[in-house]
Homo-oligomer: A and B are copies of this chain.
Amino acid sequence: MSYQCSKEEREFLDQYDASRYERPSVTTDIVVFTLDELDRLSVLLIKRGQFPYKDRWALPGGFLHTARESVDDCARRELMEETGIDNAFCSQLYTFGEPGRDPRTTVISVAYMALIPKHKLQIKAGDDAKEASIFQIQYDVDGMHFINSQMTISESDLAFDHADVIRMAITKLRNRIDYEDDALALLKDQNEFTITELKKIHETIKNKPLDLPNFRKSFLRDYVKTGKVKELDKTIVSKGKPTKLYKLMGGDV
């Protein structure tokens, strides 16, 4: 940013005492969505190694390194540190700033959302975390439950207001999925995928079955005819008729 200013202004800035305002801490929280081996919607949670909420499960994220990085960069850095993904697409979700949401001090949290296929997640806990795991999201009368092979966590067990963050992320994702390309980010291989595979991703996110012929029509119209996706000559065979493969232009390398 080029900021030209007068000598007068420069003097003001030089003696500006940055500490004279009360300042909240700023963190980012990232809702990392993925599909598990049975194509169920899942989210990455980290078991906190420190107070507050020690030993409770929480979203990955952490404090902003002020001055050195943007808020967006902070989200990407935390994601990199905790999952090994270095170029994930993070979209900003909402900023949570109720006093009291963190017992230490006022903490403003900028929430992000990322969609990452499971096999790309190199799960490793960061400095202030002990454990990380992918949990399938299930709904019941009493809200969300997060299930992995060892345990079930109910939404009230999550740290901070992270259940609210996840709920908002799911809502936003569902609203976006019809007219944004989000689903493509969850493909196992963007260079070789089938329509059925993409349809399963949509079904998982919308939580309802879709009609394959109609889904195909939309796909051909919105992606193939527009050139965003190219049909490959290859097909794969497992059971039934061989399946055409498609490739996302400008996707993974």
Would you call B103 and A66 a contact (CB within 8 A)?
A: no
Against B, the Cβ 8 Å flags (1 = close, 0 = not) of A84-117 are 0000000010111111110111101010000000
| Any B CB within 8 A of the CB of A12 | yes
Known: A13-B51, A51-B9, A95-B95. A18 touches B68 (CB 8 A): no
Does chain B have a CB within 8 A of A5? yes
Task: Give the residues in chain B near A25, CB-CB below 8 Å.
Answer: 18, 21, 23
Q: Is A215 an interface residue (CB 8 A)?
A: no
Decide if B12 touches A51 in the complex (CB within 8 Å): yes
Q: Which of B12, B24, B72, B97 is A72 in contact with, Cβ under 8 Å? A: B97
Q: A18-B25, A23-B26, A25-B23 given as contacts; is B13 within 8 A of A99 (CB)?
A: no
What would 25 A/B residue contacts be, using CB atoms closer than 8 Å?
A1-B98, A1-B100, A3-B100, A3-B103, A9-B51, A12-B51, A12-B52, A13-B104, A18-B105, A22-B65, A22-B66, A23-B24, A23-B25, A23-B26, A24-B26, A24-B64, A26-B97, A26-B108, A66-B99, A66-B106, A68-B99, A71-B96, A71-B108, A97-B110, A108-B108
Residue A139 is within 8 A (CB to CB) of chain B in the complex:
no
| A119 at interface by CB-CB < 8 Å | no
- Cβ of A9 to closest chain B Cβ, rounded Å: 5
Chain B residue numbers with a CB within 8 Å of A100 are: 1, 3
Whole-angstrom distance between the alpha carbons of A51 and B217 in the complex? 57
A3 vs chain B, min Cβ distance (A): 5
Which of these, B13, B70, B103, B161, contacts A5 with CB under 8 Å? B103
Question: Is A223 an interface residue when CB atoms closer than 8 A count as contact?
Answer: no
Cβ < 8 Å to B, chain A residues 4-60: 5, 8-9, 12-13, 16, 18, 21-26, 51-52, 54
A71 lies within 8 A of B52 (CB): no
* Closest residue of B by beta carbon distance from A97: B71
Residue of B nearest to A74 (CB): B97
Task: Give every chain B residue within 8 A of A219 (Cβ-Cβ).
Answer: none
Task: Kindly provide the distance from the CB of A99 to the nearest chain B CB, expressed in whole angstroms.
Answer: 6
For residue A73, give the distance in angstroms from its CB to the closest CB of chain B.
9
- A66 to B95: give the CA distance in the assembly, Å: 15
A69 interface residue per 8 A CB criterion: yes
Q: Which residues of B are found within 8 Å of A237, using beta-carbon distances? A: none
Bound-complex Cα distance A69 to B161 (A): 17
CA distance A13 to B71 in the complex (A): 26
